[in-house]
Structure 1
Amino acid sequence: MDRRTILRTAILGTGTATFAGALWQQALARQRWQEQLADPDRQGQLADPDRQGQPAGPAQPGPSPYGDLLAADANGIQLPISFTSRVIGRSGQRVAGTSYIWHWAPDGGACFPAGDGWIYVSNSEIPLAGGASAVRFRADGSIASAYRILGGTNVNCAGGATPWGTWLSCEEVPLGRVFETWPDGSRPAEERTRLGRFKHEAAACDPQRRVVYLTEDESDGCFYRFIPDTWGDLRTGKVQVLCAPADQTAGPVTWQDVPDRDGFPVATRSQVAAAKHFDGGEGCWYDRDICWFTTKGDNRVWAYDAVGQRLDLAYDDSLVPADAAPLTGVDNIIGTTGGDLYVAEDGGNMEINVITPAGVVAPFLRLLGHSSSEITGPAFSPDGSRLYFSSQRGTSGSSAGSGGITYEVTGPFRRGPLPAPPPAR
């Protein structure tokens, strides 16, 4: 039996409750229920979501909420109707309207509010010089400036935004570090080695439990969380690793402390016998009690329910009809206020796919002529109307990343209510 057949039998045959859409719906219902408890006029109107029925299976291919992709535009991007694209930066060239040279191998990114505009930050996944850059936009979307926010680091791959407005830039090397950076360039970056020394990929902050989730890009990597002593201050705290049976794809999990977060001489992933190992941890995104993370080795999107402390599969290319998986090369992930997830491909056919709260997965965009590249750094502007991402090696496919291109896509994205501003520290 091949992997697809084995997994379909093991997961679907046991009736495991792992439907992505239901996880979203449960999280949204839980949020509404908590709001109701705080409002005497609404008490009794909604049922406790944690007492409702269980979900039913990972996301499946279906029609995109945006319709079919059209012919490629002038930038070589296939988009749905009413969407347009533009190039923001090219590696080794000046960002339009500035004197700043855009970095090579653009990777993980995020957007931050800035006055009446916003800032997009992007890592550079090159050895030794790595670091991160930023582009500042005016309210009308025009580029105001571009500049460096981190330098002299090593293979900065992904990372994550914090609720207090900083960017965590992660080194994807053995004994890699995390650096906290300030998108507006107002402060020098600071090393945050208490978050552990390992082959870091992405980070996602959970403000309810006051932890930072972390992925590890190893074929036997782990899923971690950092619990700071004081929320908003990442200088001290403890690192824990998710623990579960090796073959478990759905069910309860526990957490155990990592004895030596510095990972030398014993790697962090090898210190706790009960730790669950994942095949190439990649993107990570937290929203409404669920932390979504991806693993590239098995093309999966996982969902960690922080309230129920359980793990589920939101997507697995082995659990869709044979040869019909729209999403392969699973990599970076980002979500919207409306509950949609956007997952970028490293390889595959160079798409960003959308996974809807109804559990439908479908292509949102496709890059043509970039077959030796990967899509990196997807991030939405604060109002949700613009999507930024990069082709790390562009059409040239240069292994050094000298052909990297960063794009912006504008259009009628599905959006929910905008989140409240983050509290001051």
Structure 2
Amino acid sequence: MKLRYKWLTGVVAIAAIATGGFAWFAHQPEIAAAPPGPHDFTTAQIARGEILVRTGDCAVCHTASGGARNAGGGRLDTPFGVIVSSNITPDRETGIGAWPYAAFERAMRRGVDREGHYLYPAFPYTSFARFNDEDMRALYAYLMTQPPVRSAPPPSDLKFPFNLRMLMAGWNMLFLDGRPWRPDPSQSAEWNRGAYLVQSAAHCTACHSPRNVFGAEQGGADMFAGGGVVDGWHVPALNTASRAPIAWNADDLYDYLRTGYSARHGVAAGPMAPVVEKLSRLPKEDVRAIAVYMASFAPAGAGSAADLAQHEAALDARSDGVMAARAQTGAALFAGACAGCHRVNDAPKLFGVRPGLAYNTNLYADSPDNLLRILLNGIGQPATRDLGYMPAFRYNFNDAQLAALANYLRTDIAGQPAWTDVAAAAANIRSTTVRSTTAP
């Protein structure tokens, strides 16, 4: 009995020592409040910071639906619970207005706020740590010179033990590489510029790379392999695992990121639309650099130029529905609701662009969810105004009709095996989303 008591006492003592040691290791001191002065920043710094904010599209996460820009309150559903974004306007009480540069840099590079609280990597400080010092200061300058908004978002709601922020110290030790980005001397200056922007400000891997069981991005061959879900949308792969019927190249990526449309890949929709809206206003050379870098992960195009032209002609023909007719209901719905805007050959341009659906990666995905979201909710806020708007068919088609149309697009337009349980998926998405507007 005495031996058992001593053993339990020893275990408790070791656990207490380990806990105390981790708490000591994890402790981060508060940085004293020290708001910047009105003349601390140059005009050039602020202008550069604005470009970086557009590249990173901070407002997508840090703005609540219908709320003030960057005033926080955006919700992100994760496997660990709900994360609510913070106010990053320069309000001194509820935002970051009292933060000196040292506090801002610590948050961006190490994921710790001014008061010493750990942040969750849904805020992609794993990417922001790669900023160079000049750009980090420019980003701070821009954010600190924007209008302050008094707004105190509700706290995040994560499950135990993920609600214990101190545990992030261990996560950082395992998964945070805080080293600034370094160029690859074997690549061109343009490629390196794109790599820097993608790996820092644009943080593309935050969505387009899968994560392990701890929520950390996977690199290596899995970099840009997609597979995640953002706001209910399945994230496509951008590397050799891409399901796109024609491999992305730098020109296609440039068109897509600059205008929201690539003739060989379609229109930016869902979470990508607001991202492209910001990227479209970046310097053209930056967008081109991003495209060059991202294209280096895509599979090399197969065959000759003649083979590619023949493949495109076949996809154009499929887009027009000429292979129709195995699914009569779906074919009729396509002819009445879709062909007017999506037929490619000998079709008048009514407004916006005419995306050939046989090129659309969503038709080649394992799940019909992305396609169903677009059919149900339309595209009421396109990435750029020149694209045109797509109506929502939520109140025009029932779930069975949506399933017929979706599987017609899948089988006859894309030439892929039919999806299963599409009507049930449509009913689920219909019940959990709201109708999008069809005009500005």
TM range, smaller chain: under 0.3
Q: Relative contact order (C-alpha < 8 Å, sep 6+): which is higher?
A: 1
Name whichever structure is richer in strand by fraction.
Answer: 1
Bigger CA radius of gyration: 2
Q: TM-score, normalised by structure 2?
A: 0.25
Q: TM-score, normalised by structure 1?
A: 0.25
